[in-house]
Amino acid sequence: MKGNSGYLPVLEYLQRQLAGTLAPGEETHMLYPTAISQLLGYRIIDIGEALAEIELHVDAVRHGNQQGTVHGGLLCELADAAIGTAHSTLMNEGESFTSIDLKATFLRPVWQSRLRALARATHRGSTLCHYQCDIHRDDGKVVATVTSAIMTLRGERAAGR
């Protein structure tokens, strides 16, 4: 189901991409894969309406802080990417969004693991949505919980974003 401009809706595009059924030349109005996901090696492993799960293999040798554990800023970036991906599934052509805030609670350290960040909407308003993202280690334990408010931009506010 293509929109008037020939773009696929974001959710359909990402579902097809994940399933391996995206045809050559099919596009959405948002940029996927994102530059940051390519740089850091994120991989979408599940997608739904206002929901996304992203995976990242981390190692403190590459992603570490002064204490020798995976840097909390990387965990925030991973959560922000999952939240942004989840929110992008709600976007129509001509719409964009921006983060209003982001709060991270770090629960336990990570040295080397495959992390899974699961973001889901906890409140969906017409302009403001709230998300929670839990990041799990390989052993299933939550290493961080991140919450964020996202504002949908329309019209002139969305132009150029």
Domain boundaries of the chain, sorted by first residue:
10-157
Fold of 10-157: Thiol Ester Dehydrase; Chain A (3.10.129)
Q: In a 3-state reduction of DSSP, which class is residue 100? A: strand
Residue pair 29/5 in contact (Cβ under 8 Å)? The answer is yes
> Rounded to whole angstroms, how far apart are CA atoms 155 and 138?
42
pLDDT digits (tens, 9 = 90+) for 58-78: 999 999 999 999 999 999 999
Assess whether the previous peptide bond of 109 is cis (omega < 30° from 0): no
pLDDT digits (tens, 9 = 90+) for 109-153: 999 999 999 999 999 999 999 999 999 999 999 999 999 999 999
